[in-house]
Structure 1
Amino acid sequence: MNLTYQKRVPLLMLLDSIIVLFSIYVGYFILHPYSDFYTSKLLLVSSIILLISHHLFAIIYRLYNKVWEYASVGELVTIAKAVTFSIATAAIAQAVGVGTIYGRVLLITWMLHILLIGGSRFSWRMYRDQYIKSNQEKRRTLIVGAGSAGTAVARQLLHNNDVDLKPVAFVDDDIKKYKLEIYGISVCGDIEHIPEIVRKEKIQDIIIAIPSLSKVEIRRIYEICAKTDVKIKIMPMIEDIMTGKVSVNAIRNVEVEDLLGRDPVELDISSITESITGATVLVTGAGGSIGSEICRQICKFSPKRLILLGHGEFSIYNIDMELRNQYGNKIDVIPVIADVQERARIFEVMEEYLPDVVYHTAAHKHVPLMEYNPREAVKNNIFGTKNVADAAETFRVNTFVLVSTDKAVNPPNVMGATKRIAEMIIQNLAKESNTKFVAVRFGNVLGSRGSVIPLFKKQIEDGGPVTVTHPDMTRYFMTIPEASRLVIQAGTLARGGEVFVLDMGDPVKISDLAKNLITLSGYTIEEIGIEYNGIRPGEKMYEELLNENEIQEKQIFPKIHIGKAEPLGKTELFTLISSLKDMTIDELKETIISVANNKEITKLQIAE
């Protein structure tokens, strides 16, 4: 029964009026055999005064505005205050009117008020909880974690009639909580007992409600939960709750990012603030997955001006509108449509805005596509990088950060080779320039455009099969926000010429990734199927972040290493780059891969 405010207030006032009159008359008749001081006139006057004062204090304390199906101790205290003050008002009236206070009658009246008014409100909550809600079909839910977050989720589910989840059990690794009850829900065991509890309690959904979990712990719990056939959900990460992006009750499905992403690198906020706050920052490829996220992260540090440079009109429009809507006039956001391959245009933009920091993310990154289009990879990744880097040096940019890739290590393919040569360009420029040139390498980015996860999700939506190149192929993975934060942090660590590399933990099998995505989508491996279709042109079975000659164990920052990658000499390198335009496709591929792998370059001999 859902009454409007206009209807429920008169009903509650009528109910309270009956309770007030009933209470004082019951109090009188309980004591009547032992006292004869109450006359009918006094009883009537006391009743009217009590009735008026009760409604007055009920309005003051907003008793008629409470949503009583969520009533708790706080509401009971409010009732006690309103009743106490109304009884006190009646006592004062008696003292003034007849010169005495009939305390025993008022005390009984006070107790009956508390009992009946409180009981009427709480009985409605009990009725809703026990009968209305219990008659609705809700999914039996197990909550992993009986801490503050887990209990908050349980309370929200119990009180929210619009959610089709009903918490029936907790699990927690704290043995002191075992067999205790929270909101009437028992802690049935620890995490290892989840499959057993699911069978015993006929669980249909599991909610992982420990927002402070590390990625390793999430994977462990998920693997245990995955032994059952129930749906698995999770609370948001603690950093999203702390920053106010989501509430503690924003339950969502477990995503592959929860299982494969790494624990985020903690940033040196002060150094980033010092380099970005109040500065002019330019981001190339600002409409791409990494570029747009770098822009979002940069805006948190309040730059004076942010230049969004990109070739794709629609993607630049999207990130431009997003940042304008979020930051308004706080940051001067300037969209620039330009192609990094057009040297004159890049110099024109750099001269006009004179940025303090440049993040160069514009690149072709798809390995098989670049095998078929090597000239485009060279034009964008090599010439484009040289254009932006030369312009940055010419107009005295303070810091230039190149976004690179683990595919630049021992590359057998065009894309990786062009990115390694791009690293060599900025390493050579760093030797003689006042601009601090650095590169940042990281692995595959979860969910970026052209990455494997969106492809797998589409294949699952279409009913399968999911196509994997080889059962043993492995890759490193990181999230888009983590990659972007690393790029920004690298800019503050730059001294010039470094190739920064993130310690990315253990690589992940692509076949395991496919299996996880299938089960997370609510299907079995058998229903969707996995098809192995062979390694594509230019692909490696596994990726490396540093080759054996580059490995340097010492970390310059938590989880960040500096590689010892040595570039080709400046004269030789720039001569090579100039000659690339005149090479055939086969010569082009052979040359750039040889250079990237530090092999002897026969084509350069003719330039001497």
Structure 2
Amino acid sequence: MNGLGCSVLNFVKSLTLGQKAITLLVVDLVLIPLALIVTFALQPIPVSPGETIALILPILPYLLAASALVAFWLGIPYIRLNAYEARAVGKTAQYAAANGLIALVLSKIAGLGLTTGLYVIFAGCFFLFSAASRVVMLQILTAIYRRDEGHTRVMIYGAGTTGTQLVSALNAHKTIYPVAFVDDNAALHGLTVAGLPVHSPVRIRELVRDKQIDRVLLAVPSLSQPKQAQLARRLQKLGLEVQALPSFSQLIGEEELVDKLKPVESHTFLGRQQVCTELERGCESYADRVVLISGAGGSIGSELCRQVLACRPAKLVLYELNELALYNVDMELRSLAEVTGTELVPVLGSVTDPRQVRGVLAEHKVQVVLHAAAYKHVPLVEANPLAGLANNVFGTQTLAREAAEYGIERFILISSDKAVRPTNVMGASKRLAELVIQDLETRYTGTVFTMVRFGNVLGSSGSVVPLFQEQIRRGGPVTVTDPKVTRYFMTVQEAVRLVLTAGSMARGGEVFVLDMGAPVPIVQLARQVIESAGYTVRDDATPDGDIEIVFTGLRPGEKMFEELTITDDHIGTRHPKLFCAREQSLSEIEIAGILRSLRQAVASGDPDAGRAVITRWVEGYVPGVKSVPL
């Protein structure tokens, strides 16, 4: 930047608001005699500048003083240069008309004998000069600012109303410099809109290189959000920063910016009637008791806490390994616990630690345990089999054994339909946990041990619906493993009601399952989530749709179909939507052998040895099998 520009910029920055107003006023006052000179020069018999000054000199001081007063009255000096738009131009017109009227009155008083038309021309000349001076000063200062501070060269995608208004706004910006439009409308290509050339999108790469563009502003609010996200990703691959503008209706609040992506109630994707009031029984087993919930910070555990609190237990122990999850659930439940009169106890720890488990049970005199702590994400456990087996099997065994030794009333294990003839380590670990609970049920008569087997819980962490919604938020595609894959689904509220109701009616050793209706095709669920967000599926039938569904293939350990029970021997309960199954268990010696072999595998860090154990003892598990049709 040259020295003159730097000096001008430093001078402008040093001015106070009042000083800037005086400067603009001085410019306007200087323009008054200039406008008078031009006015007389336009007459049929031109008058020289010297003659003009001599002619108007008697009224000029009074004209300048009156003009200054009118300028302050109209607020002309306080109009910022970068805010000089239609309303400010209107004020300048009023100011010019007032100056013409003042000059006319003063000339009549002074007896100058000039025609009225001359003052109309004077007012017009002054208006043009004053407005033009603002525009010129703004351009000069903008150029100086940009050179001093550096500027971002932007390309605007969309030459419609939003795009042209954006150019008007950016022209006064100190550091952002619009250089070109890009628009899909071929009729606009080659035209100049708002002072900028309009190009075809096929020239974007060339424009970025030739015009040194740093950023692209998407001014196409009519384009759906997924398509904007897809467009943004393509532009970002060129190394560009991409920003999107909301529509006018969004800016004024008539349309929520994320309205189409607001959370959708999970039960809308069930494909069946949600089970609600029927599962609200069972509070008598938890009222006025000390209840411990392991995994209390998870999606299932936290909902268990909420519904157990509604039963008014005397004390609720929140047992959680994750510090942040424990903090969040504890903070959420504090106000609820005050209403129910329940003592809330957050405990940070692992269910695999027998000393801590024993101490917590004894210190708080726990009477009921709801065991929801587990590693449940199939791909992660498949990639980390020993961690999954240690947490899900040994954690269950430690907590359940210590609970039985202490003599609690009830122990309810949260299991999964993936435990039935599993083809993944996570499902196999849950099946081993079930076998451990069945074994303890035969050896400890003072405690009722039972299991509740879930289907997939809609809306829980890592579940498919939040994944689909996040993919939609990014513009797609939505990924589905296989067009034939199906799953049983339930809401988190249904799942928790199932636990509480089953726990209250358990006699020991049962596996409780909710009647979840027919399994849901995942591709159908993906379509529902896309359409519930207000978008359309892009496929062969609708090539202009918003979101594409892509099939990625089954992941290691993933089944094509899920089952709910190992046998078809279902036993009804007093609840019409709840049934239980008596499934074959292993002997105490066999369970001891399984646990011993698993400990050796974990201690030696040998995942193959761990898989060998579950291959031998878990019915249906075969390492490497990806799908097992029903």
Shift of 1:483: 0.3
Say whether residues 1:450 and 2:469 are aligned partners: no
Distance in 1, matches of 2:290 and 2:361, equals 11
**1:229-240 to 2 correspondence within 5 Å?**
none
1:413 and 2:424 are equivalent in the alignment: yes
Kindly indicate whether residue 490 of structure 2 is the aligned counterpart of residue 472 of structure 1: no
For 1:574, the aligned partner's letter is A
The residue number in structure 2 matching 1:573 is 591
Aligned match of 2:367: 356
Give the distance between the partners of 2:350 and 2:291, measured in 1 at CA. 18
Cross-structure match for 1:462 = 474
Contact 2:571 2:581 in 1 (8 A): no
1:528 aligns with 2:547: yes
In the other structure, the counterpart of 1:435 is: 447
Shift, 1:341, TM fit: 1.5
Q: Which residue of 2 aligns with 1:561?
A: 579
Note if 1:390 corresponds to 2:401.
yes
Q: CA deviation at 1:269?
A: 5.2
Match of 2:570, SS state, is coil
TM-score by length of 1: 0.55
8 Å contact from structure 2 (residues 455, 489) kept in 1 = yes
2:433 aligns to what SS in structure 1? helix
CA contact (8 A) 2:597 2:613 kept: no
Say if 1:439 and 1:531 are closer, same or farther in 2 by CA, change over 3 A.
same
Aligned to 2:330: 320
Q: Report Cα offsets for 1:387-429 as digits up to 9, x if no partner.
A: 1001110111100000000000011110011101101111111
Contact 1:553 1:561 in 2 (8 A): yes
1:257 aligns with 267
Deviation readout 1:504-550 (Å, 9 max, x if unpaired): 11110110111111111111101110000000010000100012x34
How far off is 1:432 after superposition? Answer: 2.5
| Match of residue 539, structure 1, among 558, 576, 585 | 558
Q: Which amino acid aligns with 1:562?
A: C
Change (3 A) 1:323 1:388: same
Alignment RMSD = 2.0
The residue type equivalent to 2:303 in the other structure is E
3-state SS of 1:404 partner: strand
Q: 1:255 to 1:265 in 2, by over 3 A?
A: closer
Q: Identify the match of residue 487 of structure 1 among 499, 503, 510.
A: 499
Provide the residue aligned with 2:298 in structure 1.
288
Q: 1:599 to 1:326 in 2, by over 3 A?
A: closer
Deviation at 1:258, TM superposition (A): 1.6
Output the CA distance in 2 between the equivalents of 1:448 and 1:379.
Answer: 23
Indicate if the aligned counterparts of 1:554 and 1:561 stay in contact, CA closer than 8 A: yes
Once the two structures are TM-superposed, the CA of residue 350 in structure 1 deviates from its matched residue by 1.2
**1:339 aligns to what?**
350
Partner SS, residue 328 of structure 1: helix
Paired residues of 1:469 and 1:535 also in contact (CA < 8 A) = yes
**Distance between the aligned counterparts of 1:446 and 1:541, measured in 2?**
18
2:434 to 423, 431, 435: 423
- How far off its partner does 1:366 sit? 0.7
Gaps of 5+ in 2: 1-261, 539-545, 623-630
* Residue 511 (structure 1) aligns with: 523
* Distance change in 2, residues 1:593/1:450 (3 Å): farther
- Map of 1:76-115 to 2, 5 A cutoff? none
Checking the alignment, whether the CA contact within 8 Å between 2:422 and 2:428 is kept in structure 1 is yes
Secondary structure of the structure 1 residue equivalent to 2:399: helix
Counterpart residue type for residue 374 of structure 2: A
Aligned equivalent of 1:594: 616
How far the C-alpha of 1:254 sits from its partner, in A, is 5.5
Which residue does 2:384 correspond to in 1?
373
Q: Secondary structure at the match of 1:472?
A: coil
Please show how residues 77-156 of structure 1 align to structure 2 within 5 Å: none
Would you say how many aligned residue pairs link Structure 1 and Structure 2? 348
1:279 aligns with 2:301: no
- Indicate whether 1:304 and 2:298 are aligned: no
Mapping for residues 125-274 of structure 1, pairs under 5 Å: 255-260=265-270, 262-267=273-278, 272-274=282-284
Distance 1:454 1:441, change over 3 A: same
Structure 1 counterpart of 2:403, one-letter code: A
Which deviations, in whole Å up to 9, do the C-alpha atoms of 1:190-246 show, x marking residues without a partner? xxxxxxxxxxxxxxxxxxxxxxxxxxxxxxxxxxxxxxxxxxxxxxxxxxxxxxxxx
Partner amino acid, structure 2, of 1:516: Q
1:319 is displaced (CA, Å) by 1.1
What does the per-residue CA deviation read over 1:562-586, in whole Å, with 9 as the maximum and x for residues that have no partner?
A: 1121122111112211121223311
User: For 2:308 and 2:266, how far apart are their aligned partners in 1?
Assistant: 26
Equivalent residue number for residue 607 of structure 2: 585
**Counterpart-to-counterpart distance in 2, 1:368 and 1:599:** 16
Contact between 1:262 and 1:504, CA under 8 Å: does it hold in 2?
no
Q: Deviations over 1:133-172 (max 9, x none)?
A: xxxxxxxxxxxxxxxxxxxxxxxxxxxxxxxxxxxxxxxx
Structure 1: where are the runs of 5+ without partners? 1-251, 601-608
Contact 1:267 1:489 in 2 (8 A): no
Counterpart of 1:475, as a letter, is: R
User: Taking structure 1 as reference, are residues 441 and 599 closer, same or farther at Cα in structure 2, changes over 3 Å only?
Assistant: closer
